[in-house]
Chain A
């Protein structure tokens, strides 16, 4: 895995439907400056900048990383952009970590963002090119059939998705950055909302958010000089698979299982539910919590919904998932993966505030993208591995 690498700074913007008070550059700077402040550094101290975001079609800015280089203090420094669809926030952190682990740089600024209010993600994800042999649907229309297949395969009762929708929004009430903060959120409230893409209800889906998140990743030397406790990287992994192939398991994709196995091996984890203290996972539709519980090995096949139903993933459960409120509460798409990774780091640094999982020492950050085909994960811990 190379040299030790630690998170020494985390910065997030407030996530909102429309951040019309700032430009794209102003938005990413807000997150970057907060991460630098946490790390006790300025742009001058940074060796390289890694930028992540989802498709350019979302804002219609081609190669936005080139435009943002100055805004992020990258003049005269290595700067690159990572793009792996919705998992990009996670991949961006992993690429930045590899620059430290490989001994190339001591302090790398990693920033991911999306400004969804500048267009419409469903439009961008379902352009209708001619000659297509199949219909093209947006994210909700794409994932709904796979959720239906999960329900049928496992016999999960209908209300499991509702439970996750409520739990994550309750957690969001404890997170000052969260976009959806719904006072009095309840099962009745979720069940009253219409089916958008049955079996997905309105409140079982994520919002469209503007926002950015940033981290400063540091070598061991640099981490020792940081003013706040570091989160040490125990493992990073990425996997992908084609969106369509015969025999593909779209409910429990092999690439996700392989990615989890790889990151657990690096972190020395054999029983994730027992050995991890919490997880920040990419759950844009509530049913993906039980689906990922199985995919990530927190339980056996077909058992994920039972774990959710038991309350194990609640903030006071034995393995809290998405204590921050998760993607269901804030979804600046390109940043959403990085937010997962950053929230995992905040937990093991003991800096998660009101949604802190008490005594968290080891946490998983997880992101997925495309047609559930791109995966990025990391495990961070309070102790140096």
Chain B
């Protein structure tokens, strides 16, 4: 045998009647298609009084239908569906869609058509909104010819809209916060002491919320402190290095109010109330007027502070 003998001998062949078959549609389907071309759905009254849609010359029992045509829809209800996650070239949509049985309002029977439920990637699972009972309407083609394809597809009724909104602000830090963040840009934590109660607020706010007076006396505190209390967060956050991450109230040494910051450099389940921590600064060349200069706080290794000395800061 030669090499050619071992290869299966195949050839492509298309069987296509030139110009397409003609179909005489008869009076009933003809009426249906004529109404379709005008953008209307009609069914036909059966002898037993129901409305057959799409219409035919006979009902499912084989009885002849009446000559009464009934406009149905355009709204309809999905009575069953099948999801097409990877459409073929001949399918009416080039992205995932459903074949659905749709019963227009006023009709007793359903039509099979394509149901377009939105834009999905190839292979997508059927969306949750796709379900029996879903309310739908036809999407008509602008140019209609009297064909079932005059309906491009059915589409769900509008049940939800999105309302994009965006507000843009220009935030002014104000004097106190500008001063605090300038301090942070130099690797320092600055606060104010209240003239009345003597409490030290880090960051400073330029006022004492208890006494209602302006504050001006500047106090620098070290970058060490004590965890008063904390949460172990298991919901991811873009600012945190990983999950779980710890957000903790940290009472800086010399401050009278704890500030909320990340604690890292220690497994989350080893963070304790009373744990001593120090700021972990980013490299100095990256510093700016922002608290981002501090990545997080991490343990100093000193012994924990007894609960009694933090209990009044909770």
Contact = CB atoms under 8 A, between A and B. Distances in A.
Contacts of A200: 231
Given A145-B247, A145-B248, A195 B232 contact: yes
A20 interface: yes
A196 B160 CA distance: 30
Q: Quick one: which of A60, A130, A246 has the most chain B CB within 10 A?
A: A246
A245 B210 contact: yes
A145 B249 contact: yes
A152 B307 contact: yes
A140 to B, nearest CB: 8
B58 interface: no
A198 B234 contact: yes
Interface string B198-213: 0111010000111000
- Cβ-closest 7 pairs across A and B: A144-B231, A198-B232, A246-B199, A246-B256, A149-B314, A145-B229, A245-B209
Given A244-B209, A247-B256, A148 B230 contact: yes
Interface string A233-258: 00000000010111111110000000
Contact of A137 (B163, B244, B247, B314): B247
Interface in A189-222: 194-198, 200
A197 B232 contact: yes
A141 interface: yes
Q: Is the interface of A mostly helix, strand, loop or mixed?
A: loop
A196 B311 CA distance: 25
A76 interface: no
Contacts of B291: 132-134
A81 interface: no
B171 A130 contact: yes
Contacts of A244: 209, 257
B256 A153 contact: no
B229 A149 contact: yes
Interface in B147-184: 159-160, 163, 165, 169, 171, 173, 177, 180-181, 184
Q: Quick one: which of B160, B199, B229, B249 has the most chain A CB within 10 A?
A: B229
B117 interface: no
Interface in A127-159: 128-135, 137, 140-141, 144-146, 148-149, 152-153
Nearest to B312: A247
Given A134-B259, A135-B262, A146-B314, 4 more contacts: A133-B291, A134-B260, A135-B247, A145-B228
Contacts of A248: 257
Interface string B232-255: 111100010000100111000000
B197 interface: yes
Contacts of A60: 163, 165
A128 B230 CA distance: 20
Given A134-B291, A141-B247, A195 B234 contact: yes
A148 B256 CA distance: 20
Contacts of B159: 20
Contacts of A247: 199, 210, 256, 312
Contacts of A152: 229, 273, 307
B177 A153 contact: no
B48 interface: no
Interface in B271-294: 273, 290-291
A152 B232 CA distance: 15
19 contacts: A131-B181, A133-B181, A133-B184, A134-B260, A135-B261, A144-B231, A145-B228, A145-B230, A145-B247, A196-B233, A196-B234, A197-B231, A197-B232, A198-B232, A200-B231, A245-B210, A246-B210, A246-B257, A248-B257
B156 to A, nearest CB: 12
Nearest to B307: A152
Contact of B201 (A135, A246, A251): A246
